[in-house]
A and B are shown apart, each in its own frame.
Chain A
Amino acid sequence: MRHLTVKLLALAGCLFITVAPAWAQQFDWGGTLDSATNLRADPDRDEAEFEQGLRSALWAELFAEFREERRLRITGEGSYRFTYDQQGNTDPEHVLNLDMLRLRSRFPLLFGPGTAFELTAGRFGFADPTGYIWNHPGDGLQVDLRFLRWRLRLAGAYTGLLLNSVSDIRMTDTDILEEDDTDETFGPRRAIASAQLEFPELIGRQTASLFSVLQFDLRDAATDESTLNTQYFGANAEGPIEPVRGLYYNLFGVLGVGTLDPAGADEADITSGVYGGALRLFRREWRYSRIAAEWVHASGGDALDVFVPINAPATGFAFSPPLQDLMRPSLSYSLRPFADSPDAVAASFRSQLAARGYFRSTTEEDAAFDAQNGARYAGAETELELVLRPTADLGLAFTNAVFFPNDDLFDDGDPWYRGRFELSVAF
């Protein structure tokens, strides 16, 4: 079945290449070369180690506009990725991947004035409004219905055709075991459906949305593999805080329920949650200053079960524990200190300073933190990011982070360090 699907996808690709240029009114293409050099020092390594990643990608886009401003856009991107890390002196990893093959059509005024209908199909990125449940590519379909007072988004995706090495879906112990298994060509098979109902500017300029994500594990539960089916139900509110110019807030809460069928153990029901919020202040006249205070709490070890997102969002830079049994407040400030400079290169420079704290709900044994016992406070991380984007085709970034662990929780109390230098060229 899977081979047949791959062949059908390849056939669709060939048809696209031969037929599409006939109707396309615009065509553009380009590429990127990205290099990322990491230096890490943490308890997983005996000494500081380098990791080098290179990614080269080619993209192409076809665009056509028909009567009544109906638009069709097809975008494809393929990449080659090379990664080498010193850990374990393993061979370099080479990955050839189809990152995106997306057809997006837009039909304005389809249901009357102020309405629009959008259809997106193929391989592209899916996400929920919070980004904490799933924010991952998949193969599927997304429909957007836009009316003046509400917007509805329905999406369905399958993740079993993504390469194992690029898939970040690691929800069960079976998923994690397969992560480095070179015999597994494709990543964990999941069918994911989502619905999102948004009410833009419901009261004043406040926007509220309700959403649901349903995740079905397509592994055979009768085998010795663990399966986990989950459903998430959430609400999100965001908008400006009117008395203060440039100040915005965001609040969300998600309830997650599901059924875990572990290999060789009894089935268990799961009830979990994640909630949080953010305040962001943007002032262009203060050299493009952005100040953000964020807070997120994912359940685990307390009244609720461990929260399991579909893919693990990054929770830090040097230290990035899974979003499970975690309370993470963070504060960041970014600005362009030379924004007023007549020199375009200097003006493009941006710096950001961030600080994060990590707390857990339990003092017991905790797999998420790889800690035996100890305190609720796990540690704090500081991060400095320097970004230079002097031209449209060149970008440089240098990110440095130090995590200061709590000695009561981690055996080795030495700070963790991660530095990354990125160079990006577009053509």
Chain B
Amino acid sequence: MVEAKRRRHIVRFMLVLAGLAMVPTAVPAQSSEFLDRILAEDELRLGSALYLAITAGYALQDQGYDVDVVTSLRRVQQRVDLDSEAPLTLGQYAFILQEFFDLPLGILSRVIPGPRYATRDLAHADIIRGRAYPSMPLSGRRGLRIIGRALAYMEGDL
């Protein structure tokens, strides 16, 4: 049942990407190819994480959600070293998702925004499951599962 739910989240995300291909944006039609590449990553890259966040952000924007991709990207830039080939930590990924989407924010995340408290906030909301050390690397597969649950959270399904 858990596996089925995970699969549902991944399928949901792929549908978001598929929906994205229907709208005239700069995001590529080769999204499924990119998705395969992300799934194969032992350590999620910053570039991949941003790709996931930006494409999902634009897709949500088209569905009427209040997502400002450009402003979010600027805020991330202030806090995360933008080396697209560098492996990303779980905390950085959580922070990117928190900046892009309307996800839960703790008091300390508002006062001292950053990867440390973003990890705790998303773990508390059950978006991050399992071990949750802010400095740990994560695989592309785990990254997809997390963004799937983040989208489910926004839709009230988590």
Residues on A facing B (Cβ under 8 Å): 25-28, 63, 340, 342, 344, 391-394, 425-427
Inter-chain CA distance A189–B66, complex, in Å, is 61
8 A-B pairs with the lowest CB-CB distances in the bound complex, closest first: A392-B124, A26-B133, A391-B106, A393-B106, A392-B106, A392-B120, A392-B121, A28-B133
Which of B105, B123, B131 interacts with A391 by CB under 8 Å? B105
Asked whether B104 lies within 8 Å of A392 as measured between CB atoms, the reply is yes
In angstroms, how far is the closest chain B Cβ from the Cβ of A21?
A: 13
Whose C-beta in chain A lies nearest to the C-beta of B131? A63
Asked whether A393 lies within 8 Å of B117 as measured between CB atoms, the reply is yes
Chain B residues near A25: list those with CB within 8 A: 136
In angstroms, how far is the closest chain A Cβ from the Cβ of B49?
A: 19
Inter-chain CA distance A393–B104, complex, in Å, is 11
Chain A residues near B121: list those with CB within 8 A: 391-392
Which of B104, B123, B134, B135 interacts with A344 by CB under 8 Å? B104
Asked whether A392 lies within 8 Å of B156 as measured between CB atoms, the reply is no
In angstroms, how far is the closest chain A Cβ from the Cβ of B16?
A: 20
Q: What is the size category of the interface that chain B forms with chain A? A: 10 to 19
Inter-chain CA distance A25–B105, complex, in Å, is 27
- The answer to whether B107 has its CB under 8 Å from any CB of chain A is yes
Inter-chain CA distance A28–B89, complex, in Å, is 13
- The answer to whether B108 has its CB under 8 Å from any CB of chain A is yes
Asked whether A391 lies within 8 Å of B156 as measured between CB atoms, the reply is no
Chain A residues near B107: list those with CB within 8 A: 391, 393-394, 425
Inter-chain CA distance A394–B104, complex, in Å, is 12
Chain B residues near A391: list those with CB within 8 A: 104-107, 121, 124
Chain B residues near A393: list those with CB within 8 A: 106-108, 117, 120
What is the 8 Å Cβ interface bit string for chain B, positions 101-119, against chain A (1 contact, 0 not)? Answer: 0001111100000000100
Asked whether B106 lies within 8 Å of A394 as measured between CB atoms, the reply is yes
In angstroms, how far is the closest chain B Cβ from the Cβ of A149?
A: 23
Asked whether B120 lies within 8 Å of A26 as measured between CB atoms, the reply is no
Asked whether A63 lies within 8 Å of B133 as measured between CB atoms, the reply is yes
Which of B105, B108, B134, B135 interacts with A427 by CB under 8 Å? B108
- Can you spell out 20 A-B residue pairs with CB atoms less than 8 angstroms apart? A26-B135, A26-B136, A28-B133, A342-B156, A391-B104, A391-B105, A391-B106, A391-B121, A391-B124, A392-B104, A392-B120, A392-B121, A392-B123, A392-B124, A392-B125, A393-B106, A393-B108, A393-B117, A426-B120, A427-B108
In angstroms, how far is the closest chain A Cβ from the Cβ of B97?
A: 15
Chain B residues near A63: list those with CB within 8 A: 131, 133
In angstroms, how far is the closest chain A Cβ from the Cβ of B33?
A: 31
In angstroms, how far is the closest chain A Cβ from the Cβ of B101?
A: 13
Whose C-beta in chain B lies nearest to the C-beta of A341? B156
Chain B residues near A425: list those with CB within 8 A: 107
In angstroms, how far is the closest chain A Cβ from the Cβ of B14?
A: 26
In angstroms, how far is the closest chain A Cβ from the Cβ of B155?
A: 11
Whose C-beta in chain B lies nearest to the C-beta of A426? B120
Inter-chain CA distance A391–B98, complex, in Å, is 14
Known contacts A344-B104, A426-B120; 16 additional CB pairs below 8 A are A25-B136, A26-B133, A27-B133, A28-B133, A28-B135, A63-B131, A391-B106, A392-B104, A392-B106, A392-B117, A392-B123, A393-B107, A393-B120, A394-B106, A425-B107, A427-B108
Asked whether B135 lies within 8 Å of A27 as measured between CB atoms, the reply is yes
In angstroms, how far is the closest chain B Cβ from the Cβ of A199?
A: 23
Chain A residues near B156: list those with CB within 8 A: 340, 342
Inter-chain CA distance A425–B120, complex, in Å, is 13
Chain B residues near A426: list those with CB within 8 A: 120
In angstroms, how far is the closest chain A Cβ from the Cβ of B60?
A: 15
Inter-chain CA distance A426–B123, complex, in Å, is 14
Inter-chain CA distance A301–B117, complex, in Å, is 54
In angstroms, how far is the closest chain A Cβ from the Cβ of B153?
A: 10
In angstroms, how far is the closest chain B Cβ from the Cβ of A285?
A: 13
Chain B residues near A394: list those with CB within 8 A: 106-107
Chain B residues near A27: list those with CB within 8 A: 133, 135
